[in-house]
Structure 1
Amino acid sequence: MKVEIQSKNLIKPSFGTPSILRRYKISFIDEFAPTTYVPLVLFIPSSNGDVSCSIAKLRKSLEKTLTLMYPLAGRYIEDIREVDCNDQGVEFIQSQVDITIEEILHLKENPKVINEFLPLKIWSTFEATNPLLAIQVTIFRCGGLALGVNMSHKIGDAATLTTFLTQWATFSRRETKVEVVANSIFPVSGLFPSRGLSPFEIHFANSESNDDYVTIKLSFNGYAISKMRAKATLGGKINTHHMSKGQLVSALLWKAFIGVDYAIYGHPKCSALVQPIDLRHGTISLIPKNAFGNLWGLIVTSCDTIKEFAELTTLLTDNFKETTNEYLKVGHDNHEMKKVILNSFSHYTNIPNSTEIIWSTSWCKFPFYGVNFGFEKPLWISFGFGTFKRSIILLDDEGGDGVEAYVNLGVKHVPYFEQDEDIKAFASGKQRTKL
């Protein structure tokens, strides 16, 4: 497979951003966000139309989208924690590849292949002078498209990316006029003003270190999820019907990580599973679901012994319920909410150095498969090949009932990880990709 870049341009908003909207202040949650780009690739089959017309439609509709979501076309100023909404533009790359989209679906168990369709190296470090958004449209030999997106985590999360893609797709489907307005999608920075805080230090793998790392892609279909739910029931002690499939898979993979440490060290090590939680639906007074920016807290669940899958599921479920209840007690527009969010971050920063940290991020239920640019809906979406030392990233599968998990871990840990009885029982599609 050879991806050939044909052009690189900066796409600017169709209308200039008014001077009154020139400065966009980030929130303190934005300050905490990792200094990386959030990646995603959508694989869209051929619609039997003119590909050049499709590209032109994407460019024109992107200009309209940037008029509404104008901070994306600006540049971040670190010293004053603001985005200069100067309409400098987002990077737009057009490329082509010498295979069909059907062939890439046969390669989808290899996460590293997916990186070829992203405009930036996955989890590239964000620099203040860089574009906040980069897009790569790759044309397959059959006329299908791969739409790769990298959005700076400094100004948005997965929900923000969803809002952007949905709005872009809407403008692509319809010939709609657009006006520059200070609308309701930018409440976050006002609700949670910046405090001069430092971003999280995420544990990235170092490609120059002695230990190599791999990304393993595991698939859990709908049948496997139902069997996992039944196993987690613990004789009726917990109600698994209200438990998300993401929580089930996170518990199962966490158990495997705990088993790795036991196999290597001969005794269980304390570990902590860290999970971001979207706050757009988690307070008394709901924040708009299309609110722009980072809007999440953290749930930290710790374990210092060897536990079975059902026990870890109960532990996660109880902690998740307790934490979300704390958010539900307060409104989004008062001091108590700020305190609850800051406390959730302190739970992470106060984790002892001796504790093994596993990040588990779930993008399940985000409607990426429903994004419709007026062509065909995506056949498949992917995260690509990551570089975390220990992490879990979850996405819906194309059927909607299952989960695709991207698991990052040390190469020497893989044999122990794959020997976990529940991994062998429920997971399929084990494919390693070396860092």
Structure 2
Amino acid sequence: MNSKKNFNVKVNKSEVVAAVLPMQEHWLPLSNLDFVLPPLEVGVMFCYVNPIIVSEKINMNLEFNSIVKTLKTSLAETLVSYYAFSGDIVENSAGEPELLCNNGGVSFIEAFADVELKEINFYNPDESIEGKFVPKKKHGVLAIQVTQLKCGGLIMGCTFDHRVADAYSANLFLVSWSELAQSKPLSQLPSFRRSSLFPRHPGYYDDSIDDLYVPLSTLPPMKSEILNPNDQVISRIYYVTGDKIEHLQSLANFHDDKKGTSQRSKLESFSAFLWKTIACGINKETWGFSNFRFVIVVDGRTRLIINNVDNSLKGYFGNVLSIPFGEKKVEEVKEKSLNWVTNVIHEFVDIAKTQEHFLGLIDWVEAHRPEPSMEKIYAMNGDGPAVVVSLGQHFPAKKINFGWGEPAFWSYHFRWAGKAGYVMPMPSPKGNGD
């Protein structure tokens, strides 16, 4: 069936949902690892087929109004534990962002779209999703929109402030919300114990951290420029089958005469293919640059758990990320084999997969506070392309079941202001490796 390009989304109701229990207003400092994240709003959406059809199989009567009531009631309960999402970001006396936990609540929007789920062109989310199903956050740190479709299906979109939570933290919240919606106990309680990420005294960091992060004061003034319409960043969703990923992995495995064959991960293999594919589309003479940078985001939770004793990091709510990158000549990435490119990725990612790297990053931020800092990859846009691959392959979407079945489709979606490309690999709803 052909996709429907022109359809309307009408907002029927907008309100604020706060935690069901009163709480003492208090301040929650951001950690040093939160400070290197930009004020970016991240969106995620879940698509469900007609819940009424699904519920007939389990003898439930679910109209849209009762669905919304369930979502709002369980959200209010979830915000008791995840009170950070019911707060607001404000500046403290040092000019740094800090979280005011005041139970200001979450924006909750109810809407209707005159389109069927099967008519939505997910390949081009700029056309079908942007400004329609994923809400723009107007206050606080979280906004939610639930949209009923003409076919009876629904789409739930959430937008959150990246300075407060990374994808892992947002996943914890979404799973907890769906568990409470089904009157289940929480499988994982969130931890806001900032002491887990306190800097060391005396602090120490390796020079390699200076290659990845930079204080804003050291950057040259930003030049205003008029972008060519052809240079605008666009969003696309592609579907890659599991057998293709496995084939790339077999090509990417690295053989050393002394060490034998080293197995490379699916993420490293896919990323190498992506790096090569984009490089092959770059004409050095036309574009005027020769270097190409590639980034893979690394989660530090498992790296920071010392001897598996401090399990609070398993449920830690906040940002525990590092953004290592490699840089090569465009022509080199084009011409070299896939396993050579994969090995380059493996080596620069491996540097960030240590406890000392994350402890050093915490100490680096402390040494530069209150001066704001940022990832160097986003400050180097003028001298060559860059692509960031994020952490979505372990997204627990099948657990985001509020009582009317698993989502039929899901994806992250947000307006990306940077010039670097941004890729979020995610598992298929089929759960078959696609």
* TM-score interval (norm. to shorter): 0.7 to 0.9
Counterpart code for 1:187: R
1:218 corresponds in structure 2 to 238
| C-alpha contact 1:46 1:144 (8 A) present in aligned 2 | yes
1:89 paired with 2:113, answer no
Using the size of structure 2 for normalisation, the TM-score is 0.77
In the alignment, what sits opposite 1:419?
A: none
Deviations 1:384-415 (A, max 9, x none): 36434331222222233456xxxxxxxxxxxx
Cα distance, 1:236–1:191 mapped onto 2, change above 3 Å:
closer
Q: Provide the C-alpha distance between the structure 1 equivalents of 2:80 and 2:217, rounded to a whole number of angstroms.
A: 28
Residue 387 of structure 2 aligns with which residue?
Answer: 358
Structure 1 gap ranges (5+): 178-182, 404-435
Which residue in the other structure is 2:135 paired with? 119
Counterpart contact for 1:185–1:288, Cα < 8 Å: yes
Please state if 1:156 is matched with 2:165. yes
**Other structure's SS at 2:143 match:** strand
Q: Which shows bigger deviation, 146-155 or 79-88?
A: 79-88
Cα deviations by residue, 1:76-123 (Å, 9 ceiling, x for unpaired): 11234321111111110000112222333xx22222212221011xxx
1:400 partner amino acid? G
Q: Which residue of 2 aligns with 1:6?
A: 12
User: What's the RMSD between the two structures over aligned residues?
Assistant: 3.5
Q: Structure 2 vs 1, CA of residues 341 and 245 (structure 1 numbering), >3 Å: closer, same or farther?
A: farther
> 1:306 corresponds to which letter in structure 2?
E
1:209: Cα distance to partner? 2.6
Is 2:431 the counterpart of 1:400? yes
- Aligned pair partner of 2:119 in 100, 103, 120: 103
Q: Secondary structure at the match of 1:218?
A: coil
Quote the residue 1:299 is aligned against: 324
| 1:271 maps onto 2:277 in alignment | no
User: Does residue 259 of structure 2 align to residue 230 of structure 1?
Assistant: no
Q: Looking at CA atoms only, which structure, 1 or 2, has the larger radius of gyration? A: 2
Using the TM superposition, give the Cα deviation of residue 191 of structure 1 relative to its aligned residue in structure 2, in angstroms: 2.0
C-alpha deviation, 1:7, in angstroms? 0.6
> Once the 2 structures are TM-superposed, how far is the Cα of residue 150 of structure 1 from its aligned partner?
0.2
Q: Deviations over 1:324-351 (max 9, x none)?
A: 1xx2458x7xx65624788997764786
Among 338, 342, 346, the alignment partner of 2:362 is 338
Q: Does the C-alpha gap of structure 1 residues 351 and 386 become closer, same or farther in structure 2, counting only changes over 3 Å?
A: closer
Task: Tell me the SS of whatever aligns to 1:162.
Answer: helix
TM-score by length of 1: 0.76
Partner amino acid, structure 2, of 1:131: G
**1:251 maps to what in 2?**
272
In structure 1, C-alpha distance between the alignment counterparts of 2:157 and 2:375, rounded to whole Å: 34
Give 1:319 shift.
2.3
User: 2:31 — aligned with what?
Assistant: 27
Deviation at 1:15, TM superposition (A): 0.8
Aligned-pair CA distance for 1:377: 0.6
> Does residue 323 of structure 1 match 2:352?
yes
Identify which range, 61-70 or 107-116, moves more after superposition.
107-116
Distance 1:189 1:329, change over 3 A: closer
Out of 377-386 and 206-215, give the one that drifted further.
206-215
- Alignment of 1:389 with 2:425, yes or no, is no
Structure 2: distance between partners of 1:176 and 1:317: 39
Contact 2:292–2:327, Cα closer than 8 Å, also in 1:
yes
CA distance in 2, matches of 1:200, 1:252: 34
Q: Out of 58, 62, 66, which is 2:75 matched to?
A: 62
Whether the 8 Å contact between 1:46 and 1:376 is mirrored in structure 2 is: no
* Paired amino acid for 1:85: C
1:278-297 CA-partner distances (Å, limit 9, x unpaired): 11112342553221111111
SS of the residue aligned with 2:390?
A: strand
- Per-residue deviation, 1:50: 2.0
Tell me, yes or no, if the aligned pair for 2:427 and 2:433 is still in contact at 8 Å.
yes
